Amino acid sequence: MYVLPSTLTDRSVLQDWLGRNVLLLLFITLCVALGVAYFNFFTANNWILILQSSVIVGVMTIGLAFVMIGGGFDLSFAATMLFCGAVAARFMIGDEPSTLAALIVAPLAGAVIGLANGAVIVFSGISPLLGTIANSLIIRALGVLFVMETWMEIPGDASAFLFIGQGALGGVPFSVYLFVAIAVIAHIVLTKSNYGRRLFSCGANPRAARVAGVPVPATQVISYGICGLCAGIAGVINVSSVGGLSAVFNVSYLYDVITAVVIGGVSFFGGIGSIGTVVLGILILGVLKNAMIIMNLPHYTQNAVGGVFLIVAIGIDSYLQKLRGR
């Protein structure tokens, strides 16, 4: 996304390298600026906070990246996250809590929901934007009706389950390890697997992909399934870290993930994206939010700033695309 092809402009090697690594530079600049301004920015505590708060958004961002690389779009992941979190909570509450069931069924439910969602969108051909919004309403409503209660509390003795969101290994929260693992797996799948190649081809040029023998609809539906799976995992982590589930739909997740995926360089048109830059995007977003907390900005201002940031990020991206003549 931030690569300005040097064949199109007469640029020096330095400028070319700069163009390719804008994200990294942005990240470093941000950190330095904040570190200078706020002395407690570079403390271990603060960074644990940053990482921990980025995990849930981060996992879903990776999921959304898959869908977008394949040429689609998905807005239902926040609802799926809520739903699967509730499913996990269900297994933990009651007479026979089962951590194993919770950890297996919840993400699985997410995958199934994702596949169904994807099937509806891909096979009907309707706009993914609006279609997934509609699906998200349905998912959330079904969740509230059948699975959720206003507040579901995980019993305090479910230590295995709670460890996921609240535990730490060597000072680093366990959820961060989980995120890293997911990121690594995602990277391998995208860059080195058969499926990953196909996915990129579907996003880059669906017609050519079809002609080349790639099963385009199936590939795309699977990407939605992956997104749902990630949302399910995020839901489990969320419930585990909070210690329970509140049925209030936190719409800020939607905005955050979209912002992260845009900053992370995944193109809306498909065919472009990499886990490396996505992770950077997630971290940048995390740092920004952290900055707002440090600056003691109230909640709603954070949202507003998030919106501004989204506009700026995609404004720059769109403008660059225009310059490149897309």
Q: Does 5 bind another protein (CB under 8 A)?
A: yes
Whether residue 180 contacts residue 62, with contact meaning beta carbons closer than 8 Å, is answered with no
Q: Does 7 bind another protein (CB under 8 A)?
A: yes
Q: Does 145 bind another protein (CB under 8 A)?
A: yes
Q: Is 237 left (phi over 0), alpha (psi -120 to 50) or beta?
A: alpha
Q: Does 133 bind another protein (CB under 8 A)?
A: yes
Total binding residues for another protein by CB under 8 A? 68
Q: Which of 21/303 has CB closer to another protein?
A: 303
Give 158's contacts (C-beta < 8 A, 6+ positions apart).
Answer: 92, 97, 99
What CA–CA distances, in Å, run from 46 to 151, 163, 164, 168, 172? 29, 20, 20, 15, 12
Q: Does 287 bind another protein (CB under 8 A)?
A: no
Q: Which of 14/145 has CB closer to another protein?
A: 145
Q: Which of 140/289 has CB closer to another protein?
A: 140
CA distance 59 to 56: 5
Phi, psi of 168 (to 5 degrees): -145, 150
Q: Which of 62/75 has CB closer to another protein?
A: 75
Q: Which of 28/129 has CB closer to another protein?
A: 129
Give 13's contacts (C-beta < 8 A, 6+ positions apart).
Answer: none
The residues in 147-206 that bind another protein, with binding defined as CB under 8 A, are 188, 192-195, 197-198, 200-201, 204-205
Q: Which of 23/103 has CB closer to another protein?
A: 23
Whether residue 72 contacts residue 224, with contact meaning beta carbons closer than 8 Å, is answered with yes
Please state the separation of Cα 35 from the chain's center in Å: 26
Out of 125, 156, 170, 171, name the contact with another protein by CB under 8 A.
Answer: 125
Residues binding another protein (CB under 8 A): 5, 7-9, 120, 124-127, 129-131, 133-138, 140-142, 144-145, 188, 192-195, 197-198, 200-201, 204-205, 207-215, 255, 258, 262, 268, 271-272, 298-308, 310-311, 314-315, 318-319, 321-322
